[in-house]
Structure 1
């Protein structure tokens, strides 16, 4: 298997470099429409983050309210990720068949129904039913947010704009954590219910934005044979005068290339060529890495870790909780900016190395130093692995399998998250806190090696350029031969009018 440690490509010129959207060298301006549509998409990510933040607060209160065992609390926390597996699995069907916009609506409905049921629960069974609906919403949301933003954003700014979905998650986390301050002093039994009810308002706003403001993805429209409708959207998200016909041409040719290479639908995923196999390896691998490195075990149980560090005052615990949430949020902005300047590979590796060192610090320190280690871990996570684990899958998958690839990435991400969130308390008790965090540090080392050897640099490349780019890296002849056929057909089409006009 060909390895690639510096993101190099072959010398073959890419069509996308000629008239794709990344030939601007980073000078192409982001339009107001792109900002507006991306912000709208990020509200769905905010819904995801709100649930993480509010569960951090609600978990201990629900445990006390219903007299849950440790295993039941783990099930309450981790079940959302379990059901997200199914939401992620079916997201590609709605995304491909009915469009990206309806996927947003599906996610919002799941969030709203789930929070209302959970807030009104009078038994552990009803709690789990509510978590099922929220989990389905999480699965749909994780798959659609970065995909939609990637498909409406010029390549030169895709790193920054896709990272907005992670910014949305972190804003939601801070808002979810802030509910503990908002309802501080309220009776515990009522407090956690109010926290959940207030979160049911956010999905209504999301549904309104989808119906009234957000357009369909131009890539999906072209794939469904609606090039004129796609052109209207592209004219909004690209600056005035930009040749959007060339972008549509790139999308069509990319689909033609994949059809010629017989890399369409689930067949391209289940029986991939070398290029598609590398796409799947790095796209799915980064999605797995995000959760395998332990972010959910730290964040969902942050209250427990803060108490274990020796902070006894409830107000001090809340202050530290908010500080850590804000710390995680601030550094997402840093990562979003650097992805389009430093590139994907160096930022992801720096993130993983920083998380490795932070986990070592958490494992061998106590009290304030342990809190510092947690702050460093969250900061390094937000710089790279937080947004990068969704940026990479949203851009490396070929157009014909992008929704399916994102669906699989979400399924695997949530599967690992389920294991991590549902076993933290029992595993940490069995291994000890030191042993548990050392295990996570080893996992960080493994995924650093995976990214170093297999992830090529994708900064500045158009989405339509990825198929040919990965084909060149892996010397995938099925795709390269299909490209040669397309180029030959183009030459023949150009020559035919000239030859017919030549006098006998």
Structure 2
């Protein structure tokens, strides 16, 4: 742990850190710097390396969107087996996510990146060489485990190396990388366009081993360990070295390190534990964190995004776009649009806040899904009329009714994917990565990722069956209603977290829920530190200050991020 004597007075700490109190109760350094922290080139580099890990999931989604139909034709798979293959990734990702905290908490964030990439490489190579469906599913197990590990660790690592004022934009890099992977997966179909189907999908899978191989190298030789993980393990000097890389030179990282350790101590004082019992028997503040973090992660999947993306080829085929070249062009266009919208979200999350983007995202998705439902409903009516007249020219292959205006369906899909990327996509990983306290962040993220993948498994492994049972228009109408339900949930429970440091969160949620255990732990730490200062930096009535703090629910603390 950082070598800071918590029984020293705050006056002594102030001299050590060269801090001066401001009229707002916050602190700035003796260089006079105030306001948002800048981002160093190292921070960008490390965030880029971490985000690259999410390309694995994106590539799998993109490559299977195009390869799914090829695999079905090559291996003569039923719809049920194809659904099992597509949904299998999320199923096994659940397991990887659930156990990711074991590696992450015990061996560090870097080890998790390397381990996840190793699993993914093995899995894609098995898939690429599979001769039977059983071997194909065996490879799917390891691909899913690797994805689950990676999804749980990416946003944690980026949030733990990022200043609060830039965290929203940097954490969205994971979602950007996912969509880069999706576009690369779509493009792999174009690369092997002239290759026979039975070989093309194998080459497409094999290409998936390139990015995780690079990820292993970056994790071992380029990326530093998370400073917050190092601090939690008592490796203060190493944590300080990393902080010096990710914060500008004029910032006194001792103050930031102090705040990190203070947050860890506060959480442990409030909970008296850091194991699974913290999650199983949480205080009101921790319970609200779990509701917000896990609820947001699950919401991302129940709006149907993975299901729609995995079966995009089937949907646009049902919409009347049946040519292989046309389908590939539509996929790449949709992928690029989705990617571009995430760049916009990365900027807006830090300037406009989390809540507005979530609601704008859900509104756009609802409109898009209603439009899709109406589009397919109109096609069904037109198809029925044509059949009665003995004219079935509008039917798509396989006996499914083709949509009379494919461009309308493509527009609706574009609106759905773009709206998702502006809020629900990156936000569903940003919120869990920042609301959980340091002592439970890895465990909580593993739970959030587990349930996120669970929802994804259900949605992606039942799409074709649901569409056959309830029609496409019924399925899209159902998703629209789900989006409205998610909007109601977020309106009631999601607080605005823009601009707050990770160390703020436990106290912030304690104030929201009236959790006295966290507030009392904060007061105890204040009493030890003499944390209530007068204007000239000398210690002032601690008892009165604590009483005032309890009355206002506000916390005066060292905050440079």
Q: Report the TM range for the smaller structure's normalisation.
A: over 0.9
Residue 331 of structure 2 is aligned with which of 307, 314, 321? 321
1:331-480 equivalences in 2 (<5 Å): 331-365=341-375, 366=403, 367-480=406-519
Work out whether residues 16 and 250 of structure 1, in 8 Å CA contact, stay in contact via their aligned partners in 2.
Answer: no
Report the counterpart of residue 381 of structure 2 in structure 1.
none
Q: Structure 1's 19 and 102: CA in aligned 2 closer, same or farther, altered over 3 A?
A: farther
CA distance in structure 2 between the aligned counterparts of 1:88 and 1:19, rounded to whole angstroms: 39
Give the equivalent residue in structure 2 for 1:296: 306
Match of 2:251, SS state, is coil
How far apart, CA to CA, are the structure 1 residues paired with 2:458 and 2:26?
42
How far the C-alpha of 1:473 sits from its partner, in A, is 0.8
Q: Residue 172 and residue 476 in structure 1: after superposition, are their counterparts in 2 closer, same or farther (change >3 A)? A: same
1:149-164 paired onto structure 2 within 5 Å: 149-164=158-173
Q: 1: distance between equivalents of 2:512 and 2:322? A: 55
* Inter-partner Cα distance in structure 2 for 1:291 and 1:101: 27
Matched, 1:306 2:345: no
Distance (Å, rounded) in 2 between the aligned partners of 1:55 and 1:17: 51
Which residue does the alignment assign to 2:57? 48
Native 8 Å contact 1:25 1:156 kept in 2: no
Aligned partner of 1:231 among 230, 237, 240: 240
How much has 1:230 moved relative to structure 2? 0.3
Q: 1:26: Cα distance to partner?
A: 5.7
Paired position in structure 2 for 1:131 = 140
CA offsets 1:131-172 (integer angstroms, 9 cap, x no match): 000000010010011110000000000000000010000000
Distance 2:64 2:204 in 1: 9
1:88 alignment partner, SS class: helix
1:177 aligns to what SS in structure 2? helix
**Contact kept in structure 2, 1:62 and 1:68, CA below 8 Å:** yes
Which of 53, 58, 61 is equivalent to 2:70? 61
Q: Per-residue CA shift, 1:460-487, capped at 9, x if unaligned?
A: 1000110000001111001111111111
In 1, Cα distance between equivalents of 2:297 and 2:531? 43
Give the CA deviation at 1:60: 0.7
Aligned residue for 2:462, secondary structure, equals: helix
In 2, Cα distance between the equivalents of 1:317 and 1:484? 61
Other-structure match for 2:9: none
Bigger Cα displacement from structure 2, 98-107 vs 363-372: 363-372
**Which residue of the partner structure matches residue 45 of structure 2?**
36
CA RMSD of aligned residues (A): 2.0
Higher Rg? 2
| TM-score normalised by length of structure 1 | 0.93
**1:187 lines up with 2:196 in the alignment:** yes
Greater share of helix = 1
TM normalised by structure 2 equals 0.84
Is the partner of 1:487 in helix, strand or coil? helix
CA-CA distance at 1:453 after TM superposition: 1.1
Partner of 1:484: 523
SS of the aligned residue for 1:200 comes to: helix
1:312 counterpart SS class: coil
Matched with 1:7 is none
Q: Which residue of 2 aligns with 1:210?
A: 219
Pairs within 5 Å for 1:142-291: 142-262=151-271, 264-291=274-301
- Unaligned 5+ segments in structure 1 are 1-12, 499-504
CA contact (8 A) 1:163 1:332 kept: yes
Change (3 A) 1:182 1:327: same
Structure 2 CA distance for aligned equivalents of residues 24 and 146 of structure 1: 28
Residues of 2 paired with 1:460 and 1:187: CA distance? 52
Quote the offset at 1:25 in angstroms.
7.2
| Structure 2 unaligned blocks of 5 or more | 1-21, 376-402, 540-561
Report the CA distance shift for 1:19/1:87 in structure 2 as closer, same or farther (over 3 A).
farther
Shift of 1:237: 0.1
Offset, 1:19: 6.3
Distance in 2 (alpha carbons) for counterparts of 1:427 and 1:19: 57
Change (3 A) 1:19 1:413: farther
Once the 2 structures are TM-superposed, how far is the Cα of residue 18 of structure 1 from its aligned partner?
Answer: 4.0
Q: Confirm or deny: 8 A CA contact 1:24 1:156 kept in the other structure.
A: no
Spell out, residue by residue over 1:55-74, the C-alpha distance to the aligned partner (whole angstroms, 9 max, x if none): 11111111111110010000
For residues 202 and 16 of structure 1, the distance between their equivalents in structure 2, rounded to whole angstroms, comes to 47
- 2:531 and 2:63 map into 1 onto residues whose CA distance is 62
Q: Deviations over 1:202-250 (max 9, x none)?
A: 1111111111100000000000000100000000000002011111111
Tell me if the contact between 2:99 and 2:446 (Cα under 8 Å) persists in the aligned partners.
yes
SS at match of 2:412: helix
